[in-house]
Structure 1
Amino acid sequence: MKNIRVALAGAGNCAWSFAQFVALAQAAPDTRLPGLMCHTLGGYRLADVRIVAAFDVDEAKVGLPLAEAFTAPVISATGFTDLGADRDAPVLPAPVLDGLVGPLASVVRPAAAARDATPEHVAKALVEHEVDVLVIALPTGASRAIRMFAQAALTAGTAVVNCTPEELARDASVSRRFAEAGVVLLGDDLRSHLGATCLHTALIELLLSRGLELQSTYQLNVGGNTDFLNLADAGRSASKFTSKANALRAAGMSDVDGVAGPSGFIGHLADTKLCFANVTAKSVLGSQVSIDIKLTVEDSPNAAGVIANAVRAAKTATDRGLSGAVDAPSPLLFKSPPHGLPESEARAAFLDFAS
């Protein structure tokens, strides 16, 4: 089986955790790592992934090898292990566009090379590095930058994994262009391995399976990494609220008073994320059931486990001659795929695809 050559659009916290997960797998290819749902997916192990390039705009990252870029001041995710085979992958400049709008401008200074970079440079680099899958992990709300990377990948014939809430797979015109070009597109908005949305939707599905009637629900999330700093700007977080609402509706929630989304930036939490969720429902004889949950996770490793599945799913779909938005693996991997499913159905569809 060949390697899967991956490029990262955004060398941030999630990319750092994913790169470490890949490094662990490369060091022990036959070991079943905790949190990895499928040791092989479409015949590919995580150890078969090679990160061959990354794109960023931060002057503390651009022009450096990957391992050094992940020591930049804005990186708050824990370093669990050193990078191995991919440590010297280059971090290339990308056009800034709207990537640093809002609070991020106060902590990231764009590299001179990023000011001069063009979409054509990105597409050319994808071809030169023979990239199979581009993982887009840019700041939420950076619509122009995200769509620029999608177009560059389309031009290069590179499959895309859209970790952001920006609608690409759900956008019928974008999905159609990928389908016509014979290129795979997976998205939208990465669904953390065991995060707030995963837990929340599983709980809703459980209550509905017992015949209860949902009355209200909420999901409030706070954290201290640059993702939460960016989401503190209401103009940047709007698509995240929409994406989470799509996930709850796919779980079976309808006509219910509900709110779910980022609720605050607390710097000293760093990469720790706290979720506070409540579901209230009507049960037998009109009696009420109310469930309160607090979830504490490190945010970026939680994303890495899903990216590990998504890049292999994208390559597998390409190998099978699929193109455009691919339905089968997407409801388990993303909050807002074109066609959502309840958690149990999504898992069954994913495992069937993976086999």
Structure 2
Amino acid sequence: MKAIRVALAGTGNCAWSFSQFVAQAQADPEASLPGLMCRTVGGYRLADVRVVAAFDVDADKVGRPLAAAFEAPTISATRFTDLGADRDAPVLAAPLLDGLAGPLGEVITPAGEARDATSESVAKALVEHDVDVLVITLPTGAAQAVRMFAEAALTAGAAVVNCTPEVVARDAGLSARFADAGVPLLGDDLRSHVGATTLHTALIELLLGRGLELDSTYQLNVGGNTDFLNLADATRSATKFTSKANALRAAGMTDVSGVAGPTGFIGHLADTKLCFANVRATSVLGSEVQLDVKLTVEDSPNAAGVIANAVRAAKTAADRNLSGAVDGPAPMLFKSPPNGLPESQARAAFLDFAS
């Protein structure tokens, strides 16, 4: 099939892991890859993906080829493989806006070119590189920058995959404009493959499916990458807490005491993420059931498999003339889509869309 031409808005750890996953598939298109849920989505293999351009504001990345940009000091995700066909994709300057507000501004020096970049220059680059899908992996809280990239993609006619919790697909007005333009929009807030939210919602669905009544729950997450550094600032993490709450409600949690979200930055953990989840429920004769689970994952590869599905779903939506916020695959891929579903229903809807 024709290649899916992808641009990355942000070249951080998740983009690095996704690019490695693509390179692994390109090296052996017929290989069975752990964590790749669907061999094909809409007929597209992961090996059909090409990363043709990227955008960033980091002086250590702008103006360099993609492979070199992923050697920047802020990258903490593991190098599993070298990039192949996409290694020389250019990293272009993005407008600075609010991308480095908060703690990230203390560890990243903005490129001079970022001060001159505009939404128009981003849209022009998307057209020049014939981009099919723009993947937004910017820091949480960068609402202005995320919106700018969505607007630029709309202008260029490129489908959007919004991996951030900033409101894009859930914005009814913006979704309507994408629909009018015939451009697909997927989001919001990527749901990692076997991550904290996936685990937490599965536990809730298990208990509710057995007829128990939920009493309380919490999900506490800590990590050491730049994502957790950024989320340590309460002004940056607010949309993440909202997004996770949306996911728990979609799983069936109603009026119970609960909290879920990032609770700390521990630098020496690097790209390792720890999740501590607790669910208390009432069962037969008023007896109590309590689940305490600890999940340890490398954070960024855990996102890569979902981005691999989302990119192919976005291109498939375009092929099928679907536009605006696309419902079918979104509940399994994102924490806070416009219309969430419990885990089992979301998985069934995605597999139906993918076939």
**TM-score, normalization by structure 1:** 1.00
> Is 2:123 the partner of 1:123?
yes
Name the CA distance, whole Å, in 2 between partners of 1:338 and 1:198: 17
Aligned length: 355
State the match for 1:223 in structure 2.
Answer: 223
State the match for 1:158 in structure 2.
Answer: 158
1:322 counterpart letter in structure 2 = L
Q: Deviations over 1:58-88 (max 9, x none)?
A: 0000000000000000000000000000000
| Deviation for aligned residue 1:31 | 0.8
Name the CA distance, whole Å, in 1 between partners of 2:278 and 2:265: 20
1:333 counterpart letter in structure 2 = L
State the match for 1:27 in structure 2.
Answer: 27
The answer for unaligned runs of 5 or more in structure 1 is none
| Deviation for aligned residue 1:32 | 1.4
> Is 2:238 the partner of 1:235?
no
> Is 2:284 the partner of 1:316?
no
Give SS of 1:148's match.
helix
Give SS of 2:240's match.
helix
1:342 counterpart letter in structure 2 = P
Name the CA distance, whole Å, in 2 between partners of 1:254 and 1:32: 40
Give SS of 2:339's match.
coil
1:195 counterpart letter in structure 2 = G
Overall identity of the aligned pairs, in %: 82
State the match for 2:245 in structure 1.
Answer: 245
State the match for 1:204 in structure 2.
Answer: 204
Q: What is the RMSD of the two structures over their aligned residues, measured on CA atoms?
A: 0.3
State the match for 1:3 in structure 2.
Answer: 3
State the match for 1:70 in structure 2.
Answer: 70
Name the CA distance, whole Å, in 1 between partners of 2:192 and 2:236: 20
Give SS of 1:40's match.
coil
Name the CA distance, whole Å, in 2 between partners of 1:32 and 1:183: 32
State the match for 2:113 in structure 1.
Answer: 113
| Deviation for aligned residue 1:209 | 0.3
Name the CA distance, whole Å, in 2 between partners of 1:216 and 1:162: 30
Name the CA distance, whole Å, in 1 between partners of 2:175 and 2:166: 13
**TM-score, normalization by structure 2:** 1.00
Give SS of 1:273's match.
strand
Name the CA distance, whole Å, in 1 between partners of 2:276 and 2:265: 14
| Deviation for aligned residue 1:233 | 0.4
Q: Deviations over 1:323-355 (max 9, x none)?
A: 000000000000000000000000000000000
State the match for 2:278 in structure 1.
Answer: 278
State the match for 1:256 in structure 2.
Answer: 256
Name the CA distance, whole Å, in 1 between partners of 2:51 and 2:131: 9
Report matched runs for 1:39-54 at 5 Å: 39-54=39-54
Name the CA distance, whole Å, in 2 between partners of 1:340 and 1:253: 12
Q: Deviations over 1:161-217 (max 9, x none)?
A: 000000111110110010011000000000000000000000100000000000000
| Deviation for aligned residue 1:34 | 0.2
Name the CA distance, whole Å, in 2 between partners of 1:31 and 1:353: 23
Name the CA distance, whole Å, in 1 between partners of 2:113 and 2:317: 35
Name the CA distance, whole Å, in 1 between partners of 2:193 and 2:22: 16
Q: Deviations over 1:241-275 (max 9, x none)?
A: 00000000000000010000000000000000000
Q: Which runs of 4+ in 1 moved over 3 A?
A: none
State the match for 1:300 in structure 2.
Answer: 300
1:163 counterpart letter in structure 2 = C
Give SS of 1:192's match.
coil
> Is 2:104 the partner of 1:104?
yes
| Deviation for aligned residue 1:115 | 1.0
1:259 counterpart letter in structure 2 = V
2:52 counterpart letter in structure 1 = V
Name the CA distance, whole Å, in 2 between partners of 1:195 and 1:118: 35
Q: Deviations over 1:69-109 (max 9, x none)?
A: 00000000000000000000000000000000000000000
Q: Deviations over 1:130-166 (max 9, x none)?
A: 0000000000000000000000000000000000000
2:175 counterpart letter in structure 1 = S
| Deviation for aligned residue 1:292 | 0.2
Give SS of 1:44's match.
coil
> Is 2:221 the partner of 1:189?
no
Give SS of 1:237's match.
helix
Q: Deviations over 1:261-305 (max 9, x none)?
A: 000000000000000000000000000000000000000000001
